[in-house]
Amino acid sequence: MTKRLLSLSLFQGLTTEQLMDILTKTRIEFANVKDDYILREGQRHEQMVFVIQGTILREYREEKGLFTFFEEIGTDIIEPESLFGRDTTLRASYRAEGSATLVVFDKRNLFNVFNHFGIVQINILNSFCATIQSLRQKEFIPSGRNIGTSFCQFVSQLSTHPLGEKKIDITRTDLAVILGCNRRAMSEMLVTLEKEGLISIGYRLLTIPDLEALRQRVAQSDESSLSPTF
């Protein structure tokens, strides 16, 4: 388990001795969760949570209820942007799909224990800066000329992790409004992407197995294949 902890972004660069020193001064808990929520949207974000193993799904609900977005997340800090600042409530909910093992500790330890280790301070700074930089690049503006591009930008704007399956629970009508196109043209675009294996279409549910593959396909698309017909 020590080796696994040293691989986490917060502890990278520490020696085994330094990590053991932290563990003796900090109440770090190892939690096992199965098919249950770990953190819920709207709760105060008081703990640092890392995923050691298993699959954790992020569940984001649009504030007006137009859609719900699901994605698998990695092993970094869960929602670091909500840990500090004016608003420390969680923007999304997080639940284990199957069995998962987590590392959990009170965020106050960052100030009374972890601040004694310079490499940990750098790791924390890198993690928060990477999150902020990613969020700054996520302003969604419908392209107005290529529905495929707009759809890809929309999914990218919602996603916080590059890897893993993404799902959107949304009506076709609401999606067309968000993308700024008519429903027929949007449906034709979705069918084209499904035939190419880039998405899966279900009732109210769109599944994107590989967001990077979708990005590459849209980048290579020409106007005739994924363009809207108004």
Which ranges of the chain would DSSP assign to H, the alpha helix?
A: 2-6, 16-25, 109-112, 118-136, 147-158, 172-179, 183-195, 211-220, 223-226
Q: 147-226 is classed in which CATH architecture?
A: Orthogonal Bundle (1.10)
Q: What is the pLDDT of residues 24-51, one digit of tens each?
A: 888 888 899 999 999 999 999 999 898 8
The pTM of this model reads 0.77
**Crossing angle, helix 147-158 and helix 183-195, to 10 degrees?**
80
How far is residue 167 from each of residues 16, 48, 61, 207, 208, measured CA to CA in Å? 39, 26, 12, 4, 6
d(CA 129, CA 4): 24
Ranges of each domain in the chain: 2-133, 147-226
pLDDT score, position 195 = 95
pLDDT score, position 226 = 47
User: Which of 2-16, 58-72, 85-99, 198-212 is predicted least confidently?
Assistant: 2-16
pLDDT score, position 93 = 97
Q: Is the pLDDT of residue 229 over 80?
A: no
Average pLDDT, rounded, for the chain: 84
Q: What is the pLDDT of residues 124-153, one digit of tens each?
A: 777 777 766 665 555 555 555 588 888 998
Domain 2-133 has CATH 3.40.50.720: no
How far is residue 197 from each of residues 68, 125, 190, 209, measured CA to CA in Å? 22, 38, 11, 9
